[in-house]
Amino acid sequence: MRRMLMCLCILGVSLMATAGPLTIGITQIVDHPALNAARQGVIDALSEAGYVEGENLRVLVGNAQGDFSVAMSIVQNFRAERVDLVVSIATPTSQAAVQTFGGTDTPVVFSAVTDPEAAGLLGQPNVTGISDLIDVRADLELLTRLSPDIQRVGMVYNPGEANSAVLTEAAREAAPELGLTIIVAAAENSAAVPMAAQSLQGRIDAFYVTTDNTVVSALEAVVDVANRAGIPFLMADPTSLERGATLCTGFDYYDHGLMTGSVVLQILEGTSPADIPVSRQASTQLWLNLDAASARGLTFPDAVLETTTGVLLGGRKFTLVE
């Protein structure tokens, strides 16, 4: 009997693979290099496994442009389209996906989510994913190594983004031990980012922006204030290096997407999402923007240079090899 059941399970998986094109809905909160890289990583992982878009794979992509109501509309459309699986990239879109598909037979795999528990994503048997929780304390410690003159750190953030609220609070908690003071400016949407950044000018010694999708969508406004003030700007996202941050920490989000794609493939092969624990990307990078530093009259001490992954120089990225 056990052998017969095993054969039936194998047959079931085979039938799933040949019943027609697999339909996957991918939703992300904004158009952002990191989130785009994660999306591409998911698609490439599927492609490597033999799922070819236009042949045996159909991909529906939605971009909420920072609007949660649009994010809800996207996943509701996915449900109407009867997608086989949902990949949600970033916290707000993942919250929308879980609100719509939680408790259903449709698996939801989230990606680039800072704190899945705080975001209310856990506890559903059809939901799992990959977290991109960053080490905020390590980032702040990096600023102290950058210059002893850095004492007041400005953070522009959207308090309405669960991920950003969690990271900002983590910075507030870690700062005193490092001799730092966190000064925040709230921006409820991307249009409010320029004014929030300008409100910090003259009051801070450095900018620090975490994985806040609202702020990242208007990052140039923060860069402009940092340029005028001639102060360092640390961004917790290596894909934002070319946009003017002085230094960037964080993950390779294409690799993050590949990790997410691996979870998707496990589910497609028959593993229940409930049996796949939420995991976290651990490896981090440090990139220095020598062009931006030079324009602001800033230099990097040896204590920072010795831990550097790569640099941007003359508009080109170079990976440093030991």
**Beta pairing class for 279-280 and 127-131:** parallel
Query: Which whole number is the average pLDDT over 204-226?
Result: 95
Question: Residue 321 has what pLDDT?
Answer: 63
Query: Which whole number is the average pLDDT over 235-261?
Result: 93
The C-alpha angle with vertex 131 and arms to 129 and 133, in degrees rounded to 5, equals 170
Query: Is the pLDDT score of 4 beyond 90?
Result: no
Query: Which whole number is the average pLDDT over 153-157?
Result: 98
Per-residue CA distances from 77 to 53, 97, 129 (Å): 20, 11, 21
Question: Residue 5 has what pLDDT?
Answer: 34
Domain identity same for 171 and 240 = yes
Query: Is the pLDDT score of 1 beyond 60?
Result: no
The C-alpha angle with vertex 177 and arms to 174 and 183, in degrees rounded to 5, equals 55
CA distance 169 to 221: 23
Domain identity same for 9 and 44 = yes
Instruction: Give the lowest-confidence range in 86-95, 139-148, 202-211, 237-246.
Output: 237-246
Per-residue CA distances from 199 to 183, 184, 226 (Å): 10, 10, 12
Question: Residue 214 has what pLDDT?
Answer: 92
CB 319 within 8 A of CB 310: yes
Domain identity same for 179 and 228 = yes
Query: Is the pLDDT score of 256 beyond 60?
Result: yes
Please tell me whether the overall predicted TM-score, pTM, comes out greater than 0.75 for this model. Answer: yes
Question: Residue 322 has what pLDDT?
Answer: 56
**Rg of the chain's alpha carbons, rounded to an integer?**
21
Domain identity same for 125 and 245 = no
Task: Report the domain count for the chain.
Answer: 2
Domain identity same for 299 and 174 = yes
Of the candidates 165, 164, 37, which has an alpha carbon nearest to the alpha carbon of residue 89? 37
Question: Residue 282 has what pLDDT?
Answer: 77
Question: Residue 12 has what pLDDT?
Answer: 38
Query: Is the pLDDT score of 295 beyond 80?
Result: yes
pLDDT bracket for residue 18 (50, 70, 90): very low
**DSSP assigned state of 311:** E
| High-pLDDT (> 70) share of the chain, % | 93
Helix residue ranges per DSSP H, the chain: 2-18, 33-48, 68-80, 91-101, 136-146, 162-174, 193-198, 213-216, 219-229, 253-268, 290-295, 302-305
The DSSP bridge partners found for residue 100 are none
Domain identity same for 109 and 159 = no
| Amino acid found at 1 | M
Domain identity same for 274 and 185 = no
CATH code of residue 230: 3.40.50.2300
Query: Which whole number is the average pLDDT over 285-298?
Result: 94
pLDDT bracket for residue 173 (50, 70, 90): very high
The tokens describing 8, both together, are: 């039936």
Query: Which whole number is the average pLDDT over 150-163?
Result: 95
- DSSP codes, 106-151: S-EEEEEES-TTTTT--S-TTEEEEE----HHHHHHHHHHH-TT--
Q: What is the pLDDT of residues 64-104, one digit of tens each?
A: 998 999 999 999 999 999 999 999 999 999 999 999 999 99
Query: Which whole number is the average pLDDT over 185-211?
Result: 97
CB 83 within 8 A of CB 58: no
- Taking the mean position of all CA atoms in its chain, how far away is CA 104? 26
Q: Among all chains, which residue has been given the structure tokens 């990271």?
A: 167
Query: Which whole number is the average pLDDT over 3-23?
Result: 48
Domain identity same for 163 and 201 = yes
Domain identity same for 174 and 271 = no
Domain identity same for 162 and 298 = yes
CB 261 within 8 A of CB 44: yes
Instruction: Give the lowest-confidence range in 9-13, 129-133, 173-177.
Output: 9-13
Question: Residue 19 has what pLDDT?
Answer: 58
Q: Among all chains, which residue has been given the structure tokens 């010795």?
A: 306
Query: Is the pLDDT score of 308 beyond 50?
Result: yes
Of the candidates 146, 215, 207, 206, which has an alpha carbon nearest to the alpha carbon of residue 186? 215
Query: Is the pLDDT score of 160 beyond 60?
Result: yes
Query: Is the pLDDT score of 108 beyond 70?
Result: yes
Q: What is the pLDDT of residues 132-152, one digit of tens each?
A: 999 999 999 999 999 999 999
Domain identity same for 187 and 68 = no
Query: Which whole number is the average pLDDT over 208-218?
Result: 93
| High-pLDDT (> 90) share of the chain, % | 84
Q: What is the pLDDT of residues 25-51, one digit of tens each?
A: 999 999 988 899 999 999 999 999 999
Domain identity same for 256 and 308 = no
pLDDT bracket for residue 20 (50, 70, 90): confident
Range of the domain at 189: 136-250+284-319
